[in-house]
C-alpha cells in the first residue's frame, strides 16, 4: 500500500514535469523553454552565419592593410600600406616624375592637341575665332589669320558695289568696280588696314569720309579691315 502511493506520486511528478516541458515556448534554436543561446553565432544571431565573408567583424568593417579591423588603411598603387607616394596620373613607383601620356604609355610623350585628339597634329579642326571673318565660329579652336578668311567677291566687292561704285566707277579719280581696279588705285596696303586709305575714308579716320552722306555699318567696315589685314587677296 505504501509503495503504490509513492508510485502514484512519482507518476504525478512525471506528468507535471512533462506538461511544463510541452507547454513551454520553443526558442529559435528549437529548444522548449530555451533562450536562443544554443544556436547563436559569433555575432549574437540565432542560426546566423557569423561574420560575413570579406569582413572582419559583425559591423561589416574590413581588415586594413595594417592588420587592424576597420582601420580603413589601404595599399597605394606602389604597394605601400597607407602610402601616398603617387598620384593617379603617375605610373612609375621608382620615378614619380613619369606619368601616363594620353595613349596610356608610362613616360610617353603623346599629348592631346588643340583639336582634342591624342597625339594629333592640330589638323582635324578648322575655323576662325576672329569675328567678322567669313568662316568665323566661336566653337572653333584656332584664331590665327592663316585660316581666317574674307571672300573678296561676296564680302568686299558687294559692299563697294552697294555703297561706292555709283560714284567711283572711274569718276572722281578712283575706280572701285573690280579687284584689279581697286588694287591699282594705291589705296590698299596689304596687311596694314590702319594705314590703308580705303579703310581711313570708310571709317571716318580721314578728312573726307566716304560715303559723304552716311556711314557704313560697323560690320562692313570691320570686314574690309580684316580683308586688308589678311593680305587683301581676291
The mean per-residue pLDDT over the stretch 52-57 comes to 85
206 located within any domain: yes
Structural domain contains residue 56? no
Q: Does residue 126 register a pLDDT over 70?
A: no
> By residue range, what is the domain housing residue 205?
152-229
Q: Residue 3's pLDDT band (boundaries 50, 70, 90)?
A: low
Domain count, the chain: 1
From the number of C-beta atoms within 10 Å of its C-beta (0-12, 13-18, 19+), residue 199 rates as buried
Helix (H) or strand (E) holding 9: helix 2-23
Task: Work out the average pLDDT over 69-73.
Answer: 88
Please report the pLDDT score of residue 217 as a whole number. Answer: 92
pLDDT of 233 > 70? The answer is yes
Report yes or no on 99 lying in a domain: no
Q: Pick the most confident of 6-20, 50-64, 152-166, 168-182.
A: 152-166
Would 213 be classed as within a structural domain?
Answer: yes
**3 within domain boundaries:** no
Longest dimension (CA), the chain: 160
Q: pTM, whole model, 2 decimals?
A: 0.46
From residue 56, alpha-carbon distances to 39, 53, 63, 67, 223 in Å are: 21, 8, 6, 10, 74
pLDDT band at 208 (very low <50, low <70, confident <90, very high): confident
Higher pLDDT residue, 121 or 88? Answer: 121
Q: Is residue 177 pLDDT above 60, yes or no?
A: yes
Has residue 85 got a pLDDT over 70? no
pLDDT of residue 164: 92
Residue 90 lies in a domain: no
pLDDT on residue 221: 92
Distance CA 225, CA 198 (A): 9
Which comes out higher in pLDDT, residue 199 or 1?
Answer: 199
Has residue 17 been placed in a domain? no
**What is the pLDDT of the chain when averaged over all its residues?**
80
Measured CA distances, 223 to 124, 134, 168, 219 (Å)? 27, 9, 20, 6
Q: Is it the case that residue 89 has pLDDT exceeding 80?
A: no
Res 139: pLDDT? 61
The model's confidence at residue 7, banded by pLDDT at 50, 70 and 90, is low
For residues 115-143, give the mean pLDDT. Answer: 73
In a domain? residue 68: no
Amino acid at each position: 500500500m505504501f509503495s503504490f502511493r509513492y508510485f502514484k506520486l512519482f507518476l504525478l511528478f512525471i506528468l507535471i514535469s512533462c506538461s511544463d516541458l510541452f507547454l513551454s515556448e520553443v526558442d529559435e534554436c528549437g529548444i522548449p523553454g530555451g533562450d536562443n543561446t544554443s544556436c547563436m553565432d559569433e555575432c549574437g544571431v540565432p542560426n546566423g552565419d557569423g561574420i560575413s565573408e570579406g569582413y572582419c567583424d559583425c559591423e561589416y568593417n574590413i581588415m586594413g592593410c595594417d592588420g587592424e579591423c576597420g582601420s580603413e588603411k589601404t595599399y597605394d598603387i606602389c604597394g605601400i600600406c597607407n602610402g601616398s607616394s603617387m598620384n593617379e596620373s603617375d605610373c612609375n613607383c621608382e620615378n614619380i616624375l613619369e606619368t601616363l601620356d594620353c595613349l596610356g604609355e608610362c613616360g610617353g610623350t603623346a599629348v592631346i592637341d588643340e583639336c582634342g585628339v591624342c597625339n594629333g597634329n592640330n589638323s582635324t579642326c578648322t575655323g576662325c575665332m576672329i569675328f567678322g571673318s567669313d568662316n568665323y565660329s566661336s566653337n572653333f579652336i584656332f584664331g590665327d589669320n592663316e585660316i581666317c578668311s574674307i571672300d573678296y567677291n561676296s564680302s568686299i566687292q558687294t559692299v563697294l558695289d552697294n555703297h561706292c561704285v555709283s560714284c567711283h566707277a572711274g569718276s572722281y579719280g578712283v575706280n572701285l568696280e573690280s579687284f584689279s581696279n581697286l588694287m591699282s588705285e594705291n589705296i590698299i596696303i596689304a596687311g596694314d588696314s590702319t594705314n590703308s586709305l580705303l579703310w581711313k575714308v570708310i571709317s571716318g579716320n580721314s578728312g573726307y569720309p566716304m560715303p559723304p552722306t552716311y556711314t557704313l555699318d560697323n560690320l562692313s567696315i570691320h570686314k574690309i579691315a580684316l580683308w586688308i589685314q589678311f593680305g587683301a587677296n581676291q
